[in-house]
Amino acid sequence: MRGRAEECGLLDGLLADVRRGEGRCLVLRGEAGIGKTALLDYLVELASDVRIARAVGDGAGVRQLASALRADA
Ligand SMILES: Nc1ncnc2c1ncn2[C@@H]1O[C@H](COP(=O)(O)OP(=O)(O)OP(=O)(O)O)[C@@H](O)[C@H]1O
Ligand SMILES: [Mg+2]
């Protein structure tokens, strides 16, 4: 992952939290082609032992889903 050390570090921390038994909800936003899917693929590759639900969308739908997941945590 070129030029994404900071983002990868955040994802590594998030994964460590989940492995400690905490739920986490990640909202990854950015312009088309900026590398969102590449970052998610990085996370999924590291996290084969962890259950991940992925959803793609824009605006209100994703905010609604994220808030439901947080409420459920
Ligand atoms: N850190 C990176 N270094 C080099 N190439 C990258 C990096 N991140 C993404 N790419 C490349 O850039 C292109 C676009 O990346 P990606 O598909 O992840 O973007 P996206 O934000 O998911 O796009 P979209 O909004 O269309 O879904 C891909 O060819 C991908 O391999
Ligand atoms: Mg994408």
Instruction: Please answer whether residues 20 and 13 qualify as being in contact, where contact means their C-beta atoms are separated by less than 8 angstroms.
Output: no
Supply the pTM of this predicted model.
0.86
The structural domains of the chain, with segments of one domain joined by +, span 5-72
**Protein residue with its CA nearest to atom 10 in ligand 1:** 35
Distance from residue 65's CA to the centre of ligand 2 (Å): 18
HEC profile of 33-54: CCCHHHHHHHHHHHCCCCCCCC
pLDDT in tens, 15-35: 999 999 998 888 888 999 999
Q: How far is CA 30 from CA 18, 41, 56, in A?
A: 24, 15, 12
d(CA 5, ligand 1 centre) in Å: 15
Q: How confident is the model at residue 72 (pLDDT cuts 50, 70, 90)?
A: low
Q: What is the CA radius of gyration of the chain?
A: 13
